[in-house]
Amino acid sequence: MSFEPDITERLARARADLRMGVPIVLNGPVPALVLAAETLTQQRLTDLLALGGAPVLAITLRRAQTLKARAYDGDLARVLLPDDAALPWVQSVADPADDLRAPMKGPLLCARGGDVTAHRAALDLVKSARLLPAAVLLDVSDGAKFAADHGLTCLALDQVTPHLAQRSALHPVISARLPMEVSEAGRLHIFRPEDGGEEHYAIEIGRPPRSAPVLARLHSACFTGDLMGSLKCDCGPQLRAALAQMGTEGSGILLYMNQEGRGIGLANKMRAYSLQDQGFDTVEANHRLGFEDDERDFRLGADILKAMGFTSVRLLTNNPRKVDMMRSSGVEVTERVPLKVGENRHNTVYLATKAAKSGHLL
Ligand SMILES: Nc1nc2c(ncn2[C@@H]2O[C@H](COP(=O)(O)OP(=O)(O)OP(=O)(O)O)[C@@H](O)[C@H]2O)c(=O)[nH]1
Ligand SMILES: [Zn+2]
């Protein structure tokens, strides 16, 4: 029946459920009930514990390393919930906010052996829902029946896993003229992903010929820097300098990617800022939260360029990963154009950390 949602649509629904604190069921060889740790309530935790069995809190290897929990599963760990687990226990394993003030009393006991496909998919899902990367899972005997009885979204794990590994296709929605301070010949293009995720934008300055390398900037959203004039990073000045250079040259493409906080979302970026207030640097803060230092998929930017007919760029960046990713995605980078602006006394350490730990060019 054509009205039935396909796996892409069901995954979007599952992300929305997890963000609202509603459980989902991942139906594989060992069906599992899944709840995002961040949006778990005491009532749902109590109900989950009443089901019996051995619930676990899945966390990433990064978070496990901070907590000194044994990650027997390589990229993740399954921390066993104590019988009397209450919500604050789940929150303090998932969220590093109080790591220093009230360190977890260990040791945390972790499951080993068995299949972790559901746990891995659950972590992918909560990450893509822009929540903390931690999820509570409980094995249930009949996943489809459990989901139907409780009105929950039920996903077949053998469809979920290959789907999460792919990136979503982006489709052009609309474009319109946008006269701007840097150039009156501006045009804004909107691209929408199929997976229900955030839209990305391309700002075209002038009418760059598709046959020659275009001056291009792959810019990740930074609400604090781009809009609020934050001095903690260099994003706002980089955005304005890139547009100004395109205006001066008379043509260019600025891709404004809604990958806030290097792909972890604004709420998680603010969690990282709060950890930075406790003395951790930008990379350590991401790791303590359970993220990699950079969770962005730059290939989306290459997808937009190609959709617009560009095959070759002069890329405004100090980040060699952006250059590498463009090239491996089939977009030629004829030149890396450095973008050194916006250093101030608040972001000197941030910029030095990116150079030392993330390979940014000074
Ligand atoms: N997680 C996290 N994200 C941050 C922090 N500071 C800035 N960001 C984000 O970092 C990203 C910076 O994006 P870009 O300026 O496009 O990328 P870049 O890797 O610095 O590379 P170039 O500017 O091209 O050299 C934005 O998404 C910001 O929101 C931080 O301390 N933690
Ligand atoms: Zn920024």
Q: Is 330 helix (H, G, I), strand (E, B) or coil?
A: coil
Q: What CATH number corresponds to the domain at position 245? A: 3.40.50.10990
Would residue 286 count as lying in a domain?
no
Give pLDDT, residue 150: 97
Pocket-testing residue among 239, 262, 294, ligand 1, by greatest number of atoms within 8 A of Cβ:
262
Looking at the domain assignment, is residue 96 inside a domain?
A: yes
Q: Is 262 in the pocket of ligand 1 (CB under 6 A)?
A: yes
pLDDT of 103 > 90? The answer is no
Is pTM beyond 0.90 here?
yes
Q: Which residue's C-alpha comes closest to atom 23 of ligand 1?
A: 317
74 and 102 share a domain?
Answer: yes
Residue 294 known to be catalytic: yes
Is residue 142 flagged as an active site residue? no
Residue 237 belongs to domain spanning: 170-259+296-358
User: Residue 91 has which token pair?
Assistant: 């929150």
Report the alpha-carbon distance of residue 258 to residue 238 in Å, rounded.
16
- Give the chain's mean pLDDT: 95
- C-alpha closest to that of 219 among 206, 236, 231: 236
Question: Is residue 270 a part of any domain in this protein?
Answer: no
Q: How many angstroms does the Cα of residue 104 sit away from the middle of ligand 1?
A: 30
- Whether 283 is in the pocket of ligand 1, judged by its Cβ within 6 Å, is no
pLDDT band at 1 (very low <50, low <70, confident <90, very high): low
Last residue of a domain, one of 165, 196, 227: 165
The CA 256 to ligand 1 mean position distance, Å, reads: 12
Same domain, 71 and 144: yes
State the total domains in the chain: 2
Whether 333 contacts 327, CB under 8 Å:
yes
Q: Are residues 331 and 245 in the same domain?
A: yes
Q: Which among 316, 359, 361 is positioned nearest to 335, based on CA atoms?
A: 316
Tens of pLDDT, residue by residue over 121-153, are 999 999 999 999 999 999 999 999 999 999 999
Of 130, 148, 165, the residue at which a domain comes to its end is: 165
Q: Give the largest Cα separation in the chain, rounded.
A: 66
The last residue of a domain, from among 141, 165, 189: 165
With respect to residue 20, please indicate whether it lies within any of the assigned structural domains: yes
pLDDT at 210: 96
In a domain, 77, yes or no: yes
pLDDT, residue 105, reads: 72
Q: What is the mean pLDDT of residues 76-89?
A: 94
**Sheet hosting strand 332-337, strand order edge to edge:** 170-177, 186-193, 200-205, 252-257, 214-220, 312-316, 332-337
Q: Is 143 part of any domain? A: yes
Q: Which ligand is nearest to the CA of 282?
A: 1
User: What spacing in Å lies between the alpha carbon of 48 and ligand 1's midpoint?
Assistant: 38
Grade residue 350 by pLDDT with cuts at 50, 70 and 90: confident
- What's the rounded Cα separation, in Å, for the pair 346 and 59? 32
Q: Which residue in 271, 296, 303, 336 is the catalytic one?
A: 296
Question: pLDDT tens-digit profile of 164-214?
Answer: 999 999 999 999 999 999 999 999 999 999 999 999 999 999 999 999 999
CATH number at residue 25: 3.90.870.10
Q: Ligand 1: does its nearest atom lie under 6 Å from the Cβ of 253?
A: no
Q: pLDDT digit string (tens) for 264-318?
A: 999 999 999 999 999 999 999 999 999 999 999 999 999 999 999 999 999 999 9
- Shared-domain flag, residues 146 and 196: no
19/88 same-domain check: yes
- Binding positions for Zn(2+): 222, 233, 235
307 Cα–ligand 1 center, Å? 25
ipTM of the complex: 0.97
Same domain, yes or no: 160 and 175: no
184 shares its domain with 161: no
Assigned domain for 16 exists: yes
